[in-house]
Amino acid sequence: MDTCIKKIRALAADLLDKGEVERVIGFAKGTIPMATSPIAIGSKQEIEKLVFNSTCGLNLANFVTKQKGKTAIIAKGCDSRNIVTHIVENQIKRDEIYIIGVPCTGMVDKFKIASLFKDEITQFEEAGDTLTVSSLSQTQTLNKQDYLRENCSLCTHRNPVLYDVLAADLVEEQVLENPFPDVDRIEALDPDARWEHFENLTKNCIRCYACRNACPICYCPTCFVDEAGPQWVGKGQNKTDVDTFHFLRAFHCAGRCTDCGACVEACPMGINVRDFTRKLNKDTLEMFGWEAGLDLTKRPPLDAYSPQDPNDFIK
């Protein structure tokens, strides 16, 4: 995957050179090892700042809206699905963006890698599927496929669904026998154990809203948690308020979430926020045969009415 950065830089330089786009949104090296941050490049001189590797776990579709002039974006499979969602939801027009598609082989789980080390990680290198991670006391060689984020290991849309140009050859899509083993594990529990699972999941939440801010589909001008009149939910650390935030945010994502994992990537407390949204992804797939962001011509299921919609929940 690291080899495609040359192609990305060449394509981006060409676009900026010809004046076809105002900016290129991509990833830049982070300030600490094993991290990247989003960046907007406006001139050819900055092109070397662009990087692409297995730590680019955020979703760049979050940054393409409300820009003046045409924007180019580096898009993995999930980013491209969120661009499709943006277009369907009228957040951006197709001709306002130029999509540099990057077929993806998954991003790494930074918490999982960090847990292998007693001290801080100082270096992270990758070559193909081999990761070389060092701390001050030791160096470990890891197989990337063993350290993928859970959403990446369960991903069935690694190739961009919409693009103007590709920065690498398409990769083979995974075929999964069961795409929702994580949801099934929770569903198998009894109601009290499920409640306990979610209570434990959110107990470290500090209400920083990094999950919401990293989420490309959380673009409401005023989020329900920030609203003061009426105040829908308490703003403190009260457990019920914390749970209400997570529950409602997840429900707002029903039928729109692409399971890009940006929420989990952004969480400083290592909370698997996806435990909420995954259930809704499973439900929309089972009830509506729907996966978000695959088709420019279809509205999300909760946004459209069909006489065939399941309605056994209502009396």
Judged by the rule CB under 8 A, the positions of this chain that interact with other proteins are 183, 186-187, 191-198, 234, 238, 240-241, 243-244, 247, 250-251, 254, 276, 279-280, 283, 313-315
Q: Which residues sit opposite 121 in a β-bridge?
A: 135
- Which DSSP state fits 272? -
Tell me how far, at minimum, the Cβ of 215 lies from other proteins, in Å: 17
For other proteins, which is the closer residue by CB, 243 or 259? Answer: 243
What's the angle, vertex CA 37, arms to CA 106 and CA 6, rounded to 5? 65
Tell me how far, at minimum, the Cβ of 245 lies from other proteins, in Å: 12
For other proteins, which is the closer residue by CB, 267 or 280? Answer: 280
Task: Pick the closest to residue 102 from 148, 141, 56 (CA basis).
Answer: 56
Tell me how far, at minimum, the Cβ of 197 lies from other proteins, in Å: 7
Whole-number Å distance between alpha carbons of 35 and 27: 10
Tell me how far, at minimum, the Cβ of 279 lies from other proteins, in Å: 4
Tell me how far, at minimum, the Cβ of 167 lies from other proteins, in Å: 37
**Which tokens sit at 171?**
């990769």
For other proteins, which is the closer residue by CB, 175 or 188? Answer: 188
For other proteins, which is the closer residue by CB, 105 or 202? Answer: 202
Task: Pick the closest to residue 166 from 84, 75, 96 (CA basis).
Answer: 75
Whole-number Å distance between alpha carbons of 44 and 268: 33
Tell me how far, at minimum, the Cβ of 198 lies from other proteins, in Å: 5
For other proteins, which is the closer residue by CB, 118 or 315? Answer: 315
Look-up: residue for tokens 């496929």?
145
For other proteins, which is the closer residue by CB, 191 or 229? Answer: 191
Report the C-alpha dihedral over residues 227, 228, 232, 238, rounded to 10 degrees. 100
What's the angle, vertex CA 222, arms to CA 217 and CA 225, rounded to 5? 90
